[in-house]
Amino acid sequence: MNFDFSPEQTALQMQTRAFAQEHIAPVAARNDREEIFPRAILDNLAPTGLMTPTLPPEMGGAGADFIGEALAFEEIGKVCSSVRTILSVHNSLCALTIKQWGSQEQQTRYLPELGHGRLLGCFALTEFTAGSEATNQNLGARPVGDEWVLNGRKAWVSSGTKADLCLLFAQTDPAQGHRGIAAFLVPTDTPGFQAEKVWGKTGLRSAHTAHLNLKDVRLPATQLLGRAGDGFKIAMSALDNGRYGVAAGCVGQAQACLDASVAYTKERQAFGKPIAAKQLVQEMIADMAAAVESARFLVYRAGHVKNKGIRNTYETSIAKLVATETAVNVARQAIQLHGAVGYTNEYPVERHLRDALATTIYEGTSQIQKLIIGRHLTGENAFV
């Protein structure tokens, strides 16, 4: 594995860093505090190709590989995990899934619109009774002539109140279990589709989350993604992409907390010298640095496998597990190093901790990642 970035990867990293510092960092704290959806940021981002970094330029993307995507999401994660969440869902869960599973007509219709930012995508798999048990889909879809009629509810849908296109999963035949699940491309202005914003989240406040209610939503058969019964396979492949984006963003969060801690401990004086000169402070910083670098290289390894176009569930689950837990732990240590001011919103480390907590839950909890890893190594399925 070559640890040197290509000129294209480095250029994308620098482009994203410059954009993040100019457009995202100045408003991140306010957007979090006031729960402002960052529409202006997305509008400015759309012409850069960074809405969908791995789509080709003719579709509005940046034409990057998965290492390039990780570098971009890491830079955005450094300044605002809410924006990174919106982009991960839009690109990794929605656009890339259409690219992998969509018909030629679906790809032609939707990918340029998503790539150029004219449509915003979301992903609706979770239900109130189908979180870690994702096979337990109760939202139903039944064929009526050349249409499908959808009824039911979805929960915890990132960007659900703002998206234009929802990749949604429904049960077509309960007797078939997970083999009856289907994936649908649902325009959110379809009659009967309603999104309700979730208020009071601990973190990721600028990335709005919704519960969805679908009542007699009628879709033409052309909105079925893949075949009826392929839905669970489609969802799992999407999550391999989504978890990778989450892991990369968490490396950025952890790096931001490490950078802030180094800067603060060199500035803060105690007992006549910077606290950075204290042995226990240096121990904490060293532990943080080792954890960040470990998570980063696990993300790059997963990206390396993804670039080969082969199955990467094992590598991606390890990267997601380690990077999300690292983001939480490093943010907590950063608050400790900042002392009392770290417990306030005067510094961004408390926001990074609040945002990081969600990443160990969504798109498969840390415990679910351990079961995926364990199943790969032992051949035994602990899910049933």
Q: Which residues are part of the catalytic machinery? A: 363
Beta bridge partners of 194: 213
Structure tokens at 193: 């589709």
Tell me how far apart the alpha carbons of residues 362 and 368 are, in angstroms, rounded to a whole number. Answer: 10
Cα dist from 44 to 48, 117, 132, whole Å: 8, 10, 35
Beta bridge partners of 210: 157, 197
Beta bridge partners of 148: 143, 219
**Geometric angle at alpha carbon 20, from 14 and 24, rounded to 5°:** 175
Per-residue buried b or exposed e for 338-367, using 16+ beta carbons within 10 Å of the residue's own CB: beeebeeeebbbbbbbbbbbbbbebbbbbe
The closest alpha carbon to 249, from 381, 356, 128, belongs to 356
Per-residue buried b or exposed e for 292-305, using 16+ beta carbons within 10 Å of the residue's own CB: beebbebbbbbbbb
Tell me how far apart the alpha carbons of residues 302 and 323 are, in angstroms, rounded to a whole number. Answer: 12
Report the DSSP pairing between strands 209-220 and 193-197: antiparallel
Length of the chain: 384
